[in-house]
Amino acid sequence: MKKRGYLLFGVLLYFLTSPSHSNAQHSSKGMLSITFFHYVDSLVLNLDSTTYKNSFGQAYTVSNFKYYISNIHLKQADGTEYISHDYFLINEEEEKSKKIVLTHIPKGNYTSISYMIGVDSLHNCSGAQSGALDETNGMFWAWNTGYIFLKLEGKSSFSKSPGNIFEYHIGGYKSPANSIRTVLLKLEQPLLIENTKTEAMKIKVNVAEILKTPSNIDFTKMSSVTDTRNASIIADNYKDMFIIEK
Amino acid sequence: MKNKFIVLIIFSACIILLSFANNASDHSISKKDIELKIPKGFPKPIYDFKNNKISPEGFILGRKLFYDPILSKDSSTSCQSCHQRVAAFAHIDHTLSHGIDGKIGTRNVPAIQNMIWKDTYMADGGVNNMEVQPINPLTNPIEMNESLAHIIFKLKQKKEYVALFKKAYKDTIINSERLLKSLAQFTGLMISANSRYDKYLSGKDTFSIQEKSGLQLFRAKCSGCHQEPLFTDNSYRNNGLMADSSLNDIGRGRITKIEGDNFKFKVPSLRNIEMTFPYMHDGRYRKLKDVLNHYSSTISHNKTTDEDVTKIGSLSDKERKDIIAFLLTLTDKEFLNDKRFVDPNRK
């Protein structure tokens, strides 16, 4: 009787603790690591040292670059989806943060990946949080509650801000100032996730895209975006900065 | 001899422990003390503690933090420096908020009461969740001027806090989420619903003729914004104050960036108004009669001045006095003297 109790408890515990994913019909689960590689057009991103040029030929250096990735979906050709409920803060300064790992992915052939650059509206309203969403990470606006989705800071002699700095702090989850952007990347070679194996994916992130197309950013005119005003201009620029490396 | 010595040690240890127990009992918090009771007639709270289960230990930690100047950069200022219990946690007789190094803010300190019925916080409604509200005064350079990360660092160095966090959360993690949630447990239970007005409504107290007349006038003239039972409708309004150019405070417009929201501020509750002077978002009026005088005769009409304010019209001397008599019935002595909220460092 006692043994049966343990067994029941064990089964219950399994159901309570095993992560639930939509359409997870397969019992075998695999893992996927995604590495984000930061560069500026043809050059590697080096904080404070390398000089880059924007579309107006204005030279600049980058001192800080970080952003949130969340709501990652992996999709199979038949529409079956895997959803990660984790939040990742990618920070150029912290090598470790640039490699994220998704676990418990059902076995299958995945043909696309999509994710949010930023934090969904629910988690902008959920109060005090920890981990990637801990308010001490410096990616949070206290006076007008909300997460900063992406931060790019640096220097350019063309900037008229004190110390020639430029700073783009992009956030805002409420319309009309909604800067949440979703990225959808198709996988030319389907990604086969198999039992107990960790697949690897590399995503290239072109920082230069933050400052161009559709709106070319002129440091003399817009060197500071630190609230929701104008944030969506920059968000529209960077939504296409990700490419999958083959 | 040795045995006698041991007995003596045990005896003195008992005395010391007993004296601690006695001290603690003054500020002790039982399970009953932290029960969330929704007052009769109040709506369902907006902040529901669903993701922040209240415990006596969590409340005690929140209270300790609330009264501790360690939260400010130079350990000079605590939450209670500006939020005084006897003033329903507003800052009595201070026009604008004071911060560290004698710095002065741009707004009057609001009362802390019935927080869980608010949909947003701050006079401009910029904060969307009670838990993250304290980040503003904690980190604002003209208030406590400290960083959340450094507060956590400092708390981790203090044995007392290590023990308090462990008691509240059953493990050794000290982080900003727990800091803020503990504060929310303490401030969220600051519920004021036992004023003479409340007792009058439930038939446990009586009103004078003047107070009754004041209530009637209040309902006719003021309740469009100050809706019972919370005495606010949680909206933002321009109440016709001439803008103070030295403060340059556009209120709600700063948050929404909508021009039509300029000079609008959150309608404050009037509960305990006797104790929360001075009045208005910038504390410009010291007396209730100044406030009544404003609504009766000094409203400045501009683009966003509220209709409910402009239609109040002129109030006679008697009407003003009656309304004030009613407003004084909103003082909740039980709340102001509630022993759960007393500074735990006070002997």
One-character DSSP codes across B2-24: HHHHHHHHHHHHHHHHHHHHHHH
The residue-averaged pLDDT of B307-335 equals 97
At the topology level, CATH places domain B29-192 in: Cytochrome Bc1 Complex; Chain D, domain 2 (1.10.760)
- Cβ of B255 and A140 within 8 Å? no
At residue B6, the pLDDT reads 63
- pLDDT above 90 (res A60): yes
Residues of chain B contacting A134 with CB distance shorter than 8 Å: 175-177
Rounded Cα–Cα distance for residues A135 and B60 (Å): 23
How far does A171 lie from chain B, in Å, by closest CA?
A: 13
The proportion of chain A whose per-residue pLDDT surpasses 70, expressed as a percent, equals 89
Among B51, B139, B179, beta carbon nearest to A127: B51
Boundaries of every domain in chain A: 28-244
B51 vs A contacts (CB less than 8 Å): 126-127
Position B24 confidence tier, pLDDT thresholds 50, 70, 90: very low
B178 residue type, one letter: R
Q: Is B257 on the interface with A (CB under 8 A)?
A: yes
Among the partner residues A135, A146, A229, nearest to B176 by beta-carbon distance: A135
Q: How confident is the model at residue B11 (pLDDT cuts 50, 70, 90)?
A: low
Q: How confident is the model at residue A15 (pLDDT cuts 50, 70, 90)?
A: very low
Could you write out the DSSP letters of every residue in B263-321?
A: TBEEPPP-TTTTTS-SBSTT--B-SHHHHHHHHHH-----TTB-HHHHTS----HHHHH
Whether the Cβ atoms of residue B155 and residue B179 lie closer than 8 Å to each other? yes
The pLDDT tens digits of the residues spanning A156-170 come to 999 999 999 999 999
Predicted confidence at residue B23, as pLDDT, reads 46
Q: Do A145 and B126 touch (CB under 8 A)?
A: yes
Q: Given this model, what pLDDT does residue B103 score?
A: 82
Q: How confident is the model at residue A181 (pLDDT cuts 50, 70, 90)?
A: very high
Task: List Cα–Cα distances, A35 to A90, A97, A186, B109, in angstroms.
Answer: 10, 9, 17, 48
Mean pLDDT of A231-240: 97
Please compute the mean of the pLDDT values over residues B95-103 and round it to a whole number.
81
pLDDT of residue A22: 43
pLDDT of residue B101 exceeding 90, the answer is no
What pLDDT does B194 receive?
98
Chain B CB contacts of A179 below 8 Å: none
Residues in A touching B147 (Cβ below 8 Å):
136
Give the confidence band of B318 by pLDDT, cuts at 50, 70, 90: very high
The pLDDT value given to residue A97: 98
Q: With bands split at pLDDT 50, 70 and 90, how would you rate the model's confidence at B104? A: confident
Q: Which residues of A touch B52 (CB under 8 A)?
A: 127
Domain locations in chain B? 29-192, 196-331
pLDDT class for B100, splitting at 50, 70, 90? confident
Chain A residues touching B118 at Cβ < 8 A: none
Q: Does B36 touch chain A (CB under 8 A)?
A: no
Question: Using the beta-carbon criterion (under 8 Å), do A130 and B177 form an inter-chain contact?
Answer: yes
Greater confidence (B97 vs A31) lies with A31
Q: Any CB–CB contact under 8 A between A185 and chain B?
A: no
Give residue A227's pLDDT.
83
* Partner residues linked to A186 by β-bridges: A112
Average pLDDT, chain A: 90
At a CB cut-off of 8 Å and minimum separation 6, what does B47 contact? Answer: B115, B116, B118, B129, B130, B184, B188
Query: How far away is chain B from the Cα of A175, in angstroms, using its nearest Cα?
Result: 10
If you classify domain B196-331 with CATH, what class do you get? mainly alpha
Q: Is A111 left (phi over 0), alpha (psi -120 to 50) or beta?
A: alpha
Contact between B105 and B123 under an 8 Å Cβ cutoff? The reply is no
CA distance B43 to chain A (A): 21
Beta carbons of B181 and A127 less than 8 Å apart: yes
* Angle in degrees, CA B124, B327, B205, rounded to 5: 130
Domains B29-192 and B196-331 share a fold: yes
Residue B152: what residue type?
I
Q: At residue A93, does pLDDT exceed 90?
A: yes
The C-alpha angle with vertex B32 and arms to B26 and B35, in degrees rounded to 5, equals: 120
Is A125 in CB contact (< 8 Å) with chain B?
A: yes
The 10 Å Cβ neighbour count of residue B13 is: 10
Q: Which one is predicted more confidently, B20 or A54?
A: A54
**pTM, full prediction:** 0.87
Residue B24 and residue B18: Cα distance in Å, rounded? Answer: 10
What part of B 150-179 touches A (C-beta under 8 Å)?
152, 175-179
| Chain B residues close to A144, C-beta within 8 Å | 126-127, 254-255
Candidates A87, A124, A136, A147: best to mutate against B (most CBs of B within 10 A) is A136
Question: Which residues share a beta bridge with A91?
Answer: A66
- Identify residue B280 by its one-letter amino acid code: M
Structure tokens at B74: 């130079």
For helices B176-188 and B148-157, give the axis angle rounded to 10 degrees: 90
- Check residue A16 and give its pLDDT: 47
* Mean pLDDT of the region A81-93: 97
Tell me the HSE value of A227 on the side-chain side, using a 13 A CA sphere: 10
Confidence of residue B96 (pLDDT cuts 50, 70, 90): confident
Q: Is the pLDDT of residue B127 over 90?
A: yes
- Cα–Cα dist A228/A14, whole Å: 44
Instruction: Confirm or reject contact between A129 and chain B (CB < 8 A).
Output: yes
Record: contact A145-B130, CB cut-off 8 A? no
